[in-house]
Chain A
Amino acid sequence: DQQVKQNSPSLSVQEGRISILNCDYTNSMFDYFLWYKKYPAEGPTFLISISSIKDKNEDGRFTVFLNKSAKHLSLHIVPSQPGDSAVYFCAANTNAGKSTFGDGTTLTVKP
């Protein structure tokens, strides 16, 4: 049973518009959620995170929202830029240090 799900394999948006990437989870023991960005032939790189006791965290163009009752989080990118085109992974951590990853969403930002 997959504990972290990213139900949209791909998303295409126009440059300058908002990109919204979604992630759902099932395990209530997750206490931190992270987003990673991955370019082809490279390893994932950390983007932004949020604690389970928060509902929003913002860093420049990137904002992560957490709805704990719905077990849902989303990453908003505003404004989207062509360089944001990549695969985005949602990851959920327990306090035992283990990370569980979603399958990723491929974002394409068109000029």
Chain B
Amino acid sequence: NAGVTQTPKFQVLKTGQSMTLQCAQDMNHEYMSWYRQDPGMGLRLIHYSVGAGITDQGEVPNGYNVSRSTTEDFPLRLLSAAPSQTSVYFCASSSSGYSNQPQHFGDGTRLSIL
């Protein structure tokens, strides 16, 4: 059982470039989310989705876009990369958005913006 799969694991970009971080889950989970983790800090919510076709902003959405065309996939797009977006990005899923549901995380994408 793969769980939550993130690709790529590592990426280096130049300022101004765009890219898409991929996230896929095979657990038929309705709720998916993207977080970023900066050194010494916790995870901050970027965007989330409660089901296919439905997305909403989290705490730090600026500079990122998401879409959810299928239950399985939830890609995160960086529109024009900036050094401040250097971080580790985690995708997560849970069976629903109810507060008692734990999230299942991927292993992260380590992104460096030069």
Q: Which residues of A contact B (CB under 8 A)?
A: 4, 6, 9, 31-32, 34, 36, 41-46, 49, 51, 89, 93-104
Contacts and interface: CB of A to CB of B under 8 A. Distances in A.
Interface string B32-75: 01010000111111001010000000100000000000000000
A4 B42 CA distance: 10
27 contacts: A4-B42, A32-B100, A36-B102, A41-B107, A42-B108, A43-B4, A43-B92, A43-B106, A43-B107, A43-B108, A44-B103, A46-B103, A46-B104, A49-B100, A89-B43, A95-B99, A97-B48, A97-B96, A97-B99, A98-B48, A101-B35, A101-B42, A101-B44, A102-B42, A103-B40, A104-B41, A104-B42
Pick the 9 closest A-B CB pairs, nearest first: A97-B97, A43-B105, A101-B42, A46-B102, A93-B99, A32-B99, A101-B43, A103-B42, A95-B99
Interface of B: 4, 31, 33, 35, 40-45, 48, 50, 58, 90, 92, 96-100, 102-108
Contacts of B33: 99
A42 B107 contact: yes
Contacts of A6: 42
Nearest to B43: A101
Given A95-B99, A103-B41, 8 more contacts: A32-B100, A43-B107, A46-B102, A96-B99, A99-B43, A100-B45, A101-B42, A103-B42
Nearest to A51: B100
B44 A99 contact: no
A53 B58 CA distance: 26
A11 B45 CA distance: 26
Contact of B45 (A42, A46, A95, A99): A99
